Amino acid sequence: MNNKRQHEIIFDILEDNPANLSAKEIATRLNKSIATIYKWAEDPDFSGSPIPSDMILPLFYHTNDSRLIEFFCHQLGGLFFPVPGIKHKNKDYLDHLKKVSATFFDAMRIATDSFNNKDIDKDEFENIHTASFKHMQALSELVSLAKKLSKE
């Protein structure tokens, strides 16, 4: 995930989202003023305010934009995997699967290079490998689920 902060991601969602909703349309659907949602898109260290936790999922469902959810998952050390067939199309899921798979292989390449350059020790390398492998196992389970759902 890039180094954007929460308010920057919200700003990006207000400007461009898969549902093609304008900021005003988003505000209406969330039953908030446009000023309020733009406060969420401003730096809270200055004049902005953080998005309330009860608005995160409605923002996601109305815009079909997972960037904020991905941000929070990343902050918690995890990944967001949408379940196909539930509010998402399989094509979106497969694109996401490709992106996550590429991220896994990039992480393993970086970890291997770091180990070979002695930037990390064997224990750190094994921890990275184990965590990455668990993510790939989850991906494998999701692929099976996607195949099953696509046949239904």
User: Model confidence over 65-120: pLDDT tens digits?
Assistant: 989 988 888 887 777 766 555 444 445 656 666 677 777 777 777 778 887 888 87
Q: Where are the domains of the chain?
A: 6-75, 90-151
- The encoded tokens of residue 62 equal 């109305």
Of 74, 54, 64, which Cα lies nearest the Cα of 5? 74
Distances (CA, A) of 99 to 32, 96, 105, 135: 33, 5, 10, 13
Determine the residue type at 4: K
Of 101, 62, 119, which Cα lies nearest the Cα of 111? 119
Taking only the tens place, the pLDDT of each residue in 29-78 is 999 999 999 999 999 888 889 999 889 989 998 998 989 988 888 887 77
